[in-house]
């Protein structure tokens, strides 16, 4: 009896640790291939309306996962067909995928790395309403001008919705202050500077770069502490 219970426990652990039933996480190229193979694909862009208008996958419906519109738009879709979901970097779409499962959708395809990965792979993007000139933010050229002549600069690529970015910000500011003016901090919102994010192939945030006299000497992805920041000075 004890052996039977042990076997059942092991089986339960194996199933609970496996991939979520009905959900696939695909990279940009695989996501596009799956989209192309699907007739009249159901695509949800779960970012804000402003992000959507700045550039989205053709055929996508905008359903901001943080608003009431998400439930309304998702409810209008066929739950028996695949639904393709994405955001900027993959965090919000992962949450949206869980909500879609709870709503009864049987097949959910999540874009790993979101629009950052999609644009880095040079896949097609369409825009919604016209945006004011210059709204794409910094380019590689204007970025180079921004750091020109500065001995040491650390760049913080972030977004307002990014939890780890918010955690990192006070750590980073305190560390920069402790350098007594030797290091300058520049914060760049990837939503407001999509052209630069695409050029740099940024697929995840927070993303940090260190430049010494205009030359990149160090970079890091994700939430880090003061020890790793100290390492940026030595590299």
Q: Bridge partners of 45? A: 62, 86
Query: 195 and 112: one domain?
Result: no
Catalytic residue of the set 162, 197, 204, 208: 162
- Does any domain span residue 130? no
Catalytic residue of the set 165, 188, 202, 204: 165
pTM (2 decimals)? Answer: 0.58
> What is the per-residue pLDDT for 139?
87
Among the ranges given (37-41, 93-97, 181-185, 221-225), the one the predictor scored with the smallest mean pLDDT: 37-41
Which of 103, 127, 106, 122 shows the shortest CA–CA distance to 32? 122
Query: 100 and 162: one domain?
Result: no
Q: Which of 63, 90, 120 is the endpoint of a domain? A: 120
Which tokens belong to 58?
A: 């053709």
- Does any domain span residue 209? yes
The CATH number covering residue 25 comes to 3.40.250.10
Of the chain, the percentage scoring pLDDT greater than 90 comes to 67
State yes or no: is 165 an active-site residue: yes
Query: 153 and 114: one domain?
Result: no
Query: 108 and 167: one domain?
Result: no
- Does any domain span residue 4? no
> What is the per-residue pLDDT for 21?
66
> What is the per-residue pLDDT for 172?
95
State yes or no: is 17 an active-site residue: no
Flag whether pLDDT at 209 surpasses 60.
yes
- Does any domain span residue 10? no
**What's the number of domains the chain is made of?**
2
Q: Residues 138-178: pLDDT tens digits?
A: 889 889 999 999 999 999 999 988 999 999 999 999 999 99
The CATH number covering residue 186 comes to 3.40.30.10
Query: 104 and 144: one domain?
Result: no
Residues 6+ apart with CB under 8 A from 25: 19, 110, 112
Q: Which domain holds residue 173?
A: 140-234
> What is the per-residue pLDDT for 234?
78
Q: Residues 12-47: pLDDT tens digits?
A: 433 333 345 689 999 999 999 999 998 789 999 999
- Does any domain span residue 43? yes
Q: In what order do the strands lie in the sheet with 42-45?
A: 23-26, 108-111, 83-86, 42-45, 61-62
Query: 66 and 150: one domain?
Result: no
- Does any domain span residue 5? no
């Amino acid at each position: 009896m004890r052996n039977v219970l042990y076997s059942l426990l092991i089986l339960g652990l194996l199933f609970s640790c496996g991939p979520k039933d009905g959900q696939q996480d695909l990279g940009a190229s695989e996501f596009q291939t799956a989209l192309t193979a699907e007739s009249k694909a159901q695509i949800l862009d779960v970012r804000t309306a402003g992000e959507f208008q700045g550039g989205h996958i053709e055929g996508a419906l905008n359903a901001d996962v943080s608003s009431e519109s998400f439930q309304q738009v998702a409810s209008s879709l066929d739950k028996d067909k695949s639904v393709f979901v994405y955001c900027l970097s993959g965090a919000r779409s992962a949450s949206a995928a869980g909500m879609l499962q709870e709503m009864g959708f049987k097949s959910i395809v999540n874009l790993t790395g979101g629009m950052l990965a999609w644009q880095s792979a040079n896949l097609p993007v369409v825009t919604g309403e016209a945006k004011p000139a210059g709204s794409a933010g910094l380019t590689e050229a204007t970025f180079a001008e921004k750091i020109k002549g500065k001995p040491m600069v650390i760049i913080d690529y972030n977004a307002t919705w990014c939890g780890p970015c918010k955690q990192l910000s006070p750590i980073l500011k305190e560390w920069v202050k402790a350098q007594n003016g030797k290091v300058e901090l520049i914060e760049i919102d990837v939503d407001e500077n999509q052209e630069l994010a695409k050029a740099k192939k940024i697929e995840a945030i927070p993303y940090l770069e260190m430049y010494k006299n205009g030359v990149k000497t160090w970079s890091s992805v994700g939430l880090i502490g003061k020890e790793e920041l100290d390492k940026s000075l030595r590299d």
